[in-house]
A and B are shown apart, each in its own frame.
Chain A
Amino acid sequence: MTTKFEVNGKQVSVEVEPRLTLADCLRHELRLTGTHIGCEHGVCGACTVLVDGEAVRSCLILAVQAEGSKVVTVEGLSNDSDLTPLQKCFRKHHALQCGFCTPGFITTAHALLTEEPDCDADRVREVLSGNICRCTGYISIVEAVLDARQFYKGQAAKK
């Protein structure tokens, strides 16, 4: 069946089997391979994308359920010219090693900081606890997200 939604600001129309997950649709139909699949049962968070601003596990929803939504992936939170402030903080604090879980952490952290730019370390840890990283031990990821708060506070002020 055909499903239409917006991905990273562009309208897309995809012909999919009803059982296709949004994660597989993004990766294999739309070739947005930054969204990674680590468990397919909603535990690891590697496939996290934003659906209408909310952090969502794209392995747990079907592509057809995204009909009419605005989906943002890690590619949509990136640009060619430079790393974003959040990405720069991840790099500065060495908050990634193999990089496989990283897109899920970026999308999750972006959703958190957009909503709660004043969150404290406990809150950051609580929200990130839905994403598994096997390389870093999380210390540096939490440091990076806390460091990035300043840039989101600025954004909130602009709005």
Chain B
Amino acid sequence: MKNTFIGTPMERREDLRFLRGRGEYVDDVAMPGLLYAVILRSSVAHGRLVSIDASAALNVPGVHSVITAADMPGGPPIVPMRLQPLPEFKPFEQPVIAHDKVRYVGEPIAVVLASSVAIGEDALDAIAIEIEDLPAVADWRTAAKNQSVLFEKAGTNRSLVFQARKGDADAAFAAAPYVRREQLRTGRHYGLTMEPRGVMAEWDDAKGKLTVYGAAKVPFFNRRILSAQIGLAVEQIDMIENDVGGGYGARGEFYPEDFLIPFAARHVQRPVKWIEDRRENLMAMNHAREEECDLEVACARDGTILAIRGEVHTDMGAYMRTNGAVGARNVSQFMAGPYRVPHVKIDSALWMTNKTPVGTYRGPGRFEACFFLERMIDMIAADLGIDRIEFRRKNLIKSSEQPYPIAHVQPTDARDEYDSGEYSETLDRALKEIDWPKLSKLQGKLIDGKYHGLGAVCFIEGGAAGPKESARIAVNTDGTMSVYMGTSSVGQGVETVFAQIAADALEVPIERIHQVYHGSTAYVSDGYGAYHSRSTVMGGSAVLDATNNFMATLRQAAGKRLGCAESNVTLDVDKVLGGGRSMPLKEFAGLTAEGAFLNKKHTYSYGAHVAHVTVDAKLGRIEIVDYVVVQDVGRAVNPLTLRGQVLGSLVQGLGGAVLEDLKYDENGQFLTGSLADYLLPTATDFPNLRCVVLDDYPSPINPLGAKGAGEGGIIAAGGCMANAVANALSSFGAEPRQLPLSPTYIWELVQAGQRRAAE
């Protein structure tokens, strides 16, 4: 049989358990003899930790012990960086628990182990902490003064400056007939997962085995970190991935608690569970975004972009975390987006501040870069008297220019190129979907008390981070087959997608792929995880290799037993055929073969967002009348789940565009510690959203032709909404230069426009 599961919308296997409440998330796992961990976190943004007295807490009935840095011989271990682990970042990495200083509100100081969470929380109040306050650094400009320094040994609050370079930007600017310069900034967001983080650890002293539940995203990498920190061989540690309630870049990175809980379990020789509450999650999980740029764009009078140049400043929070540098790196490399820009010079500075540390959040640096450049393109097109759509068409990279080299970034020496695509086709399709020519007449019009505006922007999305992914196929005792993966699930539907790919390659009904196992370190020899929109591309390509190796292994084994040439052996649903004979596949139970996909190149899916909004100038309220995303993904494996990725990430992006902002006061006190303060989109906010997924230009760098596509919805949402709002409020001369587009900010833009008009 010849299958076409790839490309067919397939309902998900995962749903059968999730819909019945039968998922098993880490807090759903019970174990006898459990102690519950509760973490005392700093309420001070910056200070010297003078003393910790936990004696009264130990007297609270039900409290087993209190762990602090003093319990860790040799001092608390440091959490090393996973991505861009440059020596320059070393002084800024985070100890797993505070020992000499506290550097942000939320930093762990002590871990209480108790017979229940409630008793542990009671005991927190009984721990006496003395902290000598130091001046807080609550924004990058204060950090840049270096008057109060977070890391005395480093002597500076600037951990690094990434430099993105292409051509000779300074020369291009010197000769340019037109230059526009703007300062723009984005809010502070984070990849809030509906499931807060959780870790459960069990130490078996007799076997010398540590089992850690709650692993996610990159369990193999995290096992290596834990192994080094805790002094065990990697083989002594099993990381178990349970169902994971959302990832978005934030969940599954190695956090302080990923050491503290396994350490506690070994320290007290009891299983220990820690489940984060939402207040903790808001101040302990990686923050993201909060970037500000000072950007110049040089153009010819006909609208050809000649060069871009400028600085970006990222408010990194208190420590360089595992993937903390990605956003600041990406914003420099991808500032040019999907456009042909021959000369690029971007310096991207990373500033340490007394806030929760930064990590990645879906579309890291790309959301910001897209907002910065696309906002400026609308301003520039207006300056030059060129239609803003024509301006984009003129500068979008053409298929004939692919692969297209982009700026390289130092000091990581990251060189890269786009892989394939005719970028203007997605823009044209989006304009057609929304009927742009008809809507154009509404631009800036006041109808029934609301101003109408249109926005159209283009984006590029990177995916498929290497270097490798692994997969294994095995025959089960009942003659079905299972797939074992080195990638992880963060809820995106990989069990279904990998089953589709395996069933197509093996040419069997999809039901023959009994189960897809993923994430835990016991399944394959090596795995790389779920990030950078890599699972389908890297994992899927590894599945293809594994099916090839599996069939070779099966032919070898079956050829002997069927007495025929290996090349004559075929798999037919649940039977193995050859030489006119047949054997049930279950006779080969246990037969297994691993495969891998190695790749150092990246995929680049791309597309366009087009929006029609209305703005109530009095209330500052924005409504979306229609919004279309068109994205070319190279090859759509499961169009049903892909639509979910696009629309889901779009709403996250719209949250960042109009609602979400993590706020601090000037003392570094955290002001958004609940979901009543950090506003997330709900079902009433954005009802009118559509997407079109194309697969016209396959990626040439992997056998599937697929491109990572989990982030395209979020990347362009800020730029598109800001341009649509500017267009709506054009009669006020409003030019939004920051996100989120809160009611207050919209009102300020309108007020400023009215003042200008009155002068």
- Report which A residues bind B (CB closer than 8 A): 17, 19-20, 27-28, 31-41, 43-44, 46, 73-75, 78, 83, 87, 90-92, 94, 96-103, 106, 121, 124-126, 128-142
What B residues does A43 contact at CB under 8 A? 674-676
Nearest-neighbour CB distance to chain B for A68, whole angstroms, equals: 24
- Judging by beta carbons under 8 Å apart, are A136 and B644 in contact? yes
Pair B18/A96 contact, Cβ less than 8 Å: yes
Interface 1/0 per residue, B638-666 and A, CB below 8 Å: 00110110011111100000000000000
**Which of A73, A96, A99, A141 touches B683 (beta carbons < 8 Å)?**
A141
**Which residues in window 722-741 of B have CB below 8 A to A?**
none
Partner of B19, one of A73, A87, A97, A140: A87
> Using Cβ atoms and an 8 Å threshold, which residues of chain A touch B493?
97
A100 to B216, CA, bound (A): 15
State the Cβ distance, A99 to closest chain B Cβ, in Å. 3
Classify chain B's interface size.
35 or more
In the complex, the answer to whether A100 meets B246 with C-beta atoms within 8 Å is yes
Docked-complex contact B195 and A94, CB < 8 angstroms:
no
The 4 closest A-B pairs by CB, nearest first: A34-B21, A98-B491, A99-B18, A100-B245
- Does A139 contact B118, Cβ atoms closer than 8 Å? no
Instruction: Evaluate contact between A137 and B651: CB separation under 8 angstroms.
Output: yes
Is there contact, CB below 8 Å, between A94 and B675? no
B194 touches which one: A19, A74, A87, A133 (CB < 8 A)? A133
Docked-complex contact A138 and B651, CB < 8 angstroms: yes
CB of A23, distance to nearest CB on chain B (Å): 11
Q: B687 at interface (Cβ–Cβ under 8 A)? A: yes
Q: Cβ of A91 and Cβ of B30 under 8 Å apart?
A: no
Question: Which among B7-15, B398-406, B572-580 touches the partner chain?
Answer: B7-15
| Structural contact, B278 and A38, CB atoms closer than 8 A | yes
What is the minimal beta-carbon distance from B518 to any residue of chain A, in angstroms?
Answer: 14
Could you tell me if B25 and A96 are in contact, using CB atoms closer than 8 angstroms? Answer: no
Q: Are A91 and B19 neighbours in the complex by a CB distance under 8 Å?
A: yes
New contact pairs (15) apart from A87-B20, A90-B19, A98-B491, CB-CB < 8 Å: A39-B278, A41-B278, A83-B19, A91-B16, A92-B11, A96-B15, A98-B246, A100-B491, A102-B18, A121-B687, A126-B683, A137-B650, A137-B651, A139-B651, A140-B644
Indicate if the CB atoms of A94 and B644 lie closer than 8 Å. yes
Provide the residues of chain B in CB contact with A102, threshold 8 Å: 18-19
Residue of B with least CB distance to A92 = B11
Contacts of A142 in B (CB 8 A): 683, 687
> Is the CB of B23 closer than 8 A to any CB of chain A?
yes
Chain B residues, CB < 8 A from A97: 246, 491-493, 641, 644, 648
Interface class of chain B by DSSP? loop
- Distance of A32 Cα from B30 Cα, bound (Å): 12
Q: List 26 A-B contacts (CB under 8 A).
A: A31-B30, A34-B23, A35-B21, A38-B278, A75-B22, A83-B16, A94-B640, A96-B15, A97-B492, A98-B195, A98-B244, A98-B492, A100-B25, A102-B19, A103-B21, A125-B683, A126-B684, A132-B680, A134-B652, A136-B644, A136-B647, A136-B651, A137-B652, A138-B651, A138-B686, A140-B643
For the complex, what is the distance from the CA of A130 to the CA of B675, rounded to whole Å? 12
Q: List residues of chain B with CB within 8 A of the CB of A130.
A: 682
Chain B residue contacts of A46, Cβ below 8 A: 194
Chain A residues, CB < 8 A from B22: 34, 75, 78
**Distance of A52 Cα from B520 Cα, bound (Å):** 41
A32–B22 Cα distance when bound, in Å, is 9
> Are A132 and B194 touching (Cβ within 8 A)?
yes
Instruction: Given A39-B675, A43-B674, A125-B687, decide whether A135 and B491 contact each other with a Cβ distance below 8 A.
Output: yes
Chain A min CB distance to B232 (Å): 30
| Residues in B343-379 with C-beta less than 8 Å from chain A | none
Name which residue of chain A comes closest to B688, CB basis: A139
Q: Which residues between 191 and 245 of chain B lie within 8 Å of chain A, taking CB atoms?
A: 192-196, 243-245
**CB-defined contacts of B640 to chain A, threshold 8 Å:** 94
B28 at the interface (CB under 8 A from A): yes
A40 contacts B683, CB within 8 Å? no
Compute how far the CA of A134 lies from the CA of B196 in the bound complex, rounded to whole angstroms. 12
Contacts of B277 in A (CB 8 A): 40
> In the complex, what distance in Å separates the CA atom of A41 from the CA atom of B21?
21
A94 B278 Cβ-Cβ under 8 A: no
| Residues of A close to B16: CB separation below 8 A | 83, 91
Binary interface encoding of chain B residues 530-559 relative to chain A, with 1 for a CB under 8 A from any of its CBs, else 0? 000000000000000000000000000000
List A contacts of B11 (CB < 8 A).
91-92, 94
Question: Does A94 contact B682, Cβ atoms closer than 8 Å?
Answer: no
Q: A44-B675, A129-B683 are in contact. Are A137 and B647 (CB under 8 A)?
A: yes
Smallest Cβ-Cβ distance to A79: which chain B residue: B20
Distance from B631 Cβ to chain A, minimum over Cβ atoms (Å): 14
Nearest opposing residue in chain A for B642, CB measure? A94
- List A contacts of B652 (CB < 8 A): 134, 137
| Residue in chain A with minimal CB distance to B644 | A94
Among candidates A94, A99, A134, residue contacting B680 with C-beta atoms closer than 8 Å: A134
B99 CB → nearest A CB, Å: 30
- Distance A129 CA – B572 CA, assembled complex (angstroms): 49
**Closest B residue by C-beta to A80:** B20
A145 nearest in chain B by CB position: B683
B676 adjacent to A129 (CB under 8 Å): no
B19 x A78 contact (CB < 8 A): yes
Of the residues B647, B675, B713, contact of A132 by C-beta under 8 Å: B675
CA distance A130 to B641 in the complex (A): 24
Task: Determine which of A74, A78, A129, A135 lies in contact with B644 in the assembled complex, contact meaning CB atoms within 8 Å.
Answer: A135
With a cutoff of 8 Å between Cβ atoms, the chain A residues found around residue B30 in the complex are 28, 31
Give the Cβ gap from B226 to chain A, nearest Cβ, in Å. Answer: 24
Q: Is B255 an interface residue (CB 8 A)?
A: no
In the complex the two chains form, is A96's CB within 8 Å of B19's CB?
yes
Bound CA–CA A133/B28 (angstroms): 20
Closest to B680 in A: A132
A98 touching B245 by the CB < 8 A rule?
A: yes
Distance between A136 CB and nearest chain B CB, rounded to angstroms: 5
Q: Are B278 and A40 in contact (CB under 8 A)?
A: yes
Tell me, in angstroms, the Cα distance from A7 to B194 when the chains sit together: 25
Structural contact, A100 and B21, CB atoms closer than 8 A: no
Q: How many angstroms from the CA of A41 to the CA of B492 in the assembled complex?
A: 27
Most buried by B among A38, A90, A124: A38
> Cβ of B23: which chain A residues have Cβ within 8 Å of it?
34, 99-100
Is B683 in contact with A138, judged by CB distance below 8 angstroms?
A: yes
B20 & A34 in contact (Cβ 8 Å cutoff):
yes
B residues in contact with A90, CB < 8 Å: 15, 19
Whether a CB of chain A sits under 8 angstroms from the CB of B490 is yes
Q: Is the CB of B647 within 8 A of A134?
A: no
- Which chain A residues border B490 with CB–CB below 8 Å? 98
The answer to whether B565 has its CB under 8 Å from any CB of chain A is no
Closest-CB distance, B263 to chain A (whole angstroms): 24
Q: Please, which residue of chain A has its CB at the minimum distance from the CB of B690?
A: A139
Please indicate the chain B residues that have their CB under 8 angstroms from the CB of A99 in the complex.
Answer: 14-15, 17-19, 23, 243, 245, 491
- B416 vs chain A, min Cβ distance (A): 29
How far is the CB of B636 from the nearest CB of chain A, in Å?
13
> Does B386 reach chain A (CB closer than 8 Å)?
no
User: Is B27 close to A, CB under 8 A?
Assistant: yes
Q: How far is the CA of A52 from the CA of B228 in the complex (A)?
A: 53
What's the Cα separation between A38 and B279 when bound, in Å?
11
Q: Is B248 engaged at the interface, CB distance under 8 Å to the other chain?
A: yes
Please tell me if the beta carbons of A136 and B648 are within 8 angstroms of each other in the complex. yes
Known: A33-B28, A96-B15, A98-B491. A38 touches B194 (CB 8 A): yes
